[in-house]
Amino acid sequence: LRASICICFFPGNFIWCNICHDYNVDNCTDLPYLCSPNEDVCLFERTRSIYDGRDDIVIIKRCGKSSECNRAGSIRSSTKAILMNTTCCGQNICHPPLPSLLFNISDANGLVCPACFVPNSDRCLGRSDLKCAGNEKRCIHYKKTEKHDLSTVTESLYGCTTDPICEAGSSLTLPKGHIFKTIKTDIVCSSAIVLNSAAYGLLTIAFSVLYVFKFGY
């Protein structure tokens, strides 16, 4: 017997998207999935993480919201850099193009943010000054939590980022099809400060207070 998958197009605001998740490849094996009514695009998310001598790329194809389509840019602390980009399409079983990961983060732009990175922890203390570069005009607190079976991995990062990362905001990816883990990202942003500005000390205090009210201890 030959197995087959029936993709039935229901009336209303529903869309079918290919779903998959893989590492260090440009594409992954798709599985059709019916999205929820508030998800109006098929999204291709590509993230590159550079830390401690490792350079890894994660790709996810999933249902998404139009507001997520502009999540493209960099998140950077003094020890870790994250580049991400998303592409979208709005038809059933459409194929978003491969997102590029070419961002200019090499030239300092005169702005500064408090920075630190801690793997396997939801807190990040001992922040130091980080000179922002390229289009990085915002300071960020980025917290990512991945859950798979009984395992939970959390990382916390303070540093510089680009406007589209902040505008797209936090996200939650639930296990569906070939996406086998829950991935939650929390993002809090503020304006970066001009280097040597007297307001820089106040920025560090404000970030700490904002963290307490948003995430708690």
Give the model confidence (pLDDT) of 21-52 as tens digits: 899 999 998 889 999 999 999 999 999 999 99
Closest by Cα among 104, 103, 101, 5 to 44: 101
Residue 114 inside a domain? The answer is: yes
Q: What is the pLDDT of residue 215?
A: 46
Lowest mean pLDDT among 102-111, 142-151, 195-204: 195-204
When divided into structural domains, the chain yields a total of 1
Residue 3 inside a domain? The answer is: no
- Whether the Cβ atoms of residue 76 and residue 50 lie closer than 8 Å to each other: no
Calpha distance 36→106 (Å, rounded): 40
Residue 150 inside a domain? The answer is: yes
Average pLDDT over residues 187-203: 75
- Show the domain range for 123: 16-215
Tokens encoding 42: 């098929």
Residue 11 inside a domain? The answer is: no
Could you identify the residue written with the tokens 């490792």?
Answer: 54
Average pLDDT over residues 81-99: 95
Label each residue of the chain as H, E or C. Answer: CCCCCCCCCCCCCCCEEEEEEEECCCCCCCEEEECCCCCCEEEEEEEEEEECCEEEEEEEEEEECHHHCCCCEEEECCCEEEEEEEEEECCCCCCCCCCCCCCCCCCEEEEEEEEEEEECCCCCCCCEEEEEECCEEEEEEEEEEEEECCEEEEEEEEEEEEHHHHHHCCEEECCECCECCEEEEEEEEEECEECCCCCHHHHHHHHHHHHHHHHCC
Q: What is the pLDDT of residue 211?
A: 46
- pTM confidence score: 0.79
- Whether the Cβ atoms of residue 114 and residue 158 lie closer than 8 Å to each other: yes
Asked if the model's pLDDT at residue 116 lies above 80, the reply is: yes
Give the model confidence (pLDDT) of 141-175 as tens digits: 999 998 888 888 999 999 999 999 998 888 887 76
Residue 65 inside a domain? The answer is: yes
Residue 127 inside a domain? The answer is: yes
